[in-house]
Structure 1
Amino acid sequence: MPLDALRPSPLVEQATERLREQITGGEWAVGTKLPGETALAKSLGVGRSTVREALRALAGAGLVQARQGSGVFVIATRPKEDWSTHLRRAAVTDVYEVRMLVEVQAAHLAAQRRTDDDIAALQGALARRRDAANAGDAEFVAADIALHEAVVAAAHNPVLTGLFTEFVPVLQRRLLDLVELLNLRSEDPNHGDEGHAALVDAVVRGDAEGAGHALRAELKQTLALLHSL
């Protein structure tokens, strides 16, 4: 199937998408060697540098692989999923098990590294969570997650912070589903306040073991509820 010439801009994105369509559509099977840069450039109506960038993007997506002295070969017909996509499709119980590993360690570090600004942020987040008890479920869940974000931020580890940030969209959606499905706030609008207060108190006091224990207990309780569904 011949490739039509492309419009001028943005050339790299267009070239990447056109080649991706050829691969995912089955025009080039796994193991196939792609035409050379010159041939692809002529087919697409672009320069070789544009083709080179497009092939680099396809390699990053796990679709092609350059082999020294041999050329570029198709190694998959479906792009590999990025971490965010994988999380969105994962079972919420699996996400929570990993969340527990990440956050308990973050709580330990937060208790050891928290600054005066972190303490103020944690106490403010706890106060806002309590205020949100008078609001709807969406506002309450958002305030709950914000408190956990404050704990992770107090660990002062950018990798932990980045990892937890990836969890947030999934957690927000699934926690809201859990609260609404089980009507968790019907009897106690500030559900889980005692555990969150204990967590903040332990971090503020510099009690790493206490912070880890408080967070682990809270997350285990939620995980048990998820398994009961």
Structure 2
Amino acid sequence: MPLGALRPSPLVEQAAERLREQITAGHWPVGTRLPGETTLAKELGVGRSTVREALRALAGAGLVQPRQGAGVFVTATRPVEDWPTRLRTAAVTDVYEVRMLVEVQAARLAALRRTDEDVAAMRAALAGRRAAAEGDDAGFVDADIRVHSALVSAAHNPVLTDLFAEFAPALREALIELLDLLRLRSDEPRHGEESHTALVEAVAAGDAEEAARIASAELEATLALLLSPGRSKSEA
């Protein structure tokens, strides 16, 4: 199948996309050696330097791999997705299960490591959550996430903090949808108030096991709602 000449604007991106299409369509199966730069350049109507940069981009996506003295070989038919992309496209229940692993341990560590400033930040976020109960679901979810973010920050582990920050956008959309779908705040505008207060106070008291227990119970309850009939596991 001929590749076809390219239009004269961003040539490297176009070349990479054209080659990617050939690979994902199976024209060059995994293990295949690609034609040489000169041949590809001729078919695409570009210079060898453009082809070289396009192949470098494909290598970065995990689709090809150059082998010294042997050429460039196809190593995959689908590009490797970066972490934010994986989170955006993953089932929300899968994301939530990992969130549980992260946040239960974060609650335990926060109870052991929290400072007075951390406790003040958690209590301020909790007050903000109460105030947000008078508003719409989106504002309430944002306030809820701020409580959990303050708790994770109190663990003083930058990897946990960054990981939670990566989860937050996917969780936000799912939780807004959940509140709307199940009308969870119709009769209880401050949904989850008791458990959130108990969690913050357990961390403030330095009770690591109680903080972990409360966090686990709260997150398991939300996961059960996400898995409830009427919601597909693939919904995000």
Q: Same fold (TM over 0.5)?
A: yes
Question: Any idea what the Cα deviations from partners look like across 1:103-145, whole Å, max 9, x if unmatched?
Answer: 0111122222223332232122111101011001111111111
Partners of 2:115 and 2:224 in 1: CA distance? 33
Question: Any idea what the Cα deviations from partners look like across 1:13-45, whole Å, max 9, x if unmatched?
Answer: 343223223323444333321123344455452
Match of residue 8 from structure 2: 7
Partners of 2:7 and 2:207 in 1: CA distance? 62
The worse-fitting range, judged by mean Cα deviation, of 190-199 and 37-46 is: 37-46
Match of residue 179 from structure 2: 179
CA shift, 1:78, in A, is 2.4
The worse-fitting range, judged by mean Cα deviation, of 196-205 and 82-91 is: 82-91
The worse-fitting range, judged by mean Cα deviation, of 128-137 and 24-33 is: 24-33
Partners of 1:126 and 1:147 in 2: CA distance? 6
Question: Any idea what the Cα deviations from partners look like across 1:139-158, whole Å, max 9, x if unmatched?
Answer: 11111112111111222222
Structure-2 change in CA distance of 1:17 and 1:138 (3 Å): same
Question: Any idea what the Cα deviations from partners look like across 1:63-109, whole Å, max 9, x if unmatched?
Answer: 11223332111122222333333333433333222111110111122
Match of residue 90 from structure 1: 90
Alignment of 1:141-180 (within 5 A): 141-180=141-180
Structure-2 change in CA distance of 1:157 and 1:36 (3 Å): farther
Structure-2 change in CA distance of 1:39 and 1:161 (3 Å): farther
Structure-2 change in CA distance of 1:134 and 1:12 (3 Å): same
1:123 counterpart = 2:123: yes
Partners of 1:117 and 1:52 in 2: CA distance? 53
Q: CA RMSD in A?
A: 2.3
The count of corresponding residues between Structure 1 and Structure 2 is 227
Structure-2 change in CA distance of 1:21 and 1:228 (3 Å): closer
Amino acid at match of 2:178: L
Match of residue 45 from structure 1: 46
Amino acid at match of 2:93: T
Structure-2 change in CA distance of 1:207 and 1:12 (3 Å): farther
Q: Which structure: greater helix fraction?
A: 1
Partners of 2:174 and 2:152 in 1: CA distance? 20
Q: Scaled by the length of structure 1, what TM-score is found?
A: 0.86
The percent of aligned pairs where both chains have the same amino acid is 66
Partners of 2:39 and 2:162 in 1: CA distance? 41
Q: Unpaired segments of 5 or more residues in structure 2?
A: 230-236
Alignment of 1:190-209 (within 5 A): 190-209=190-209
**8 Å contact from structure 1 (residues 34, 73) kept in 2:** yes
**8 Å contact from structure 1 (residues 6, 45) kept in 2:** no
**8 Å contact from structure 1 (residues 63, 74) kept in 2:** yes
Alignment of 1:46-85 (within 5 A): 46-48=47-49, 50-85=50-85
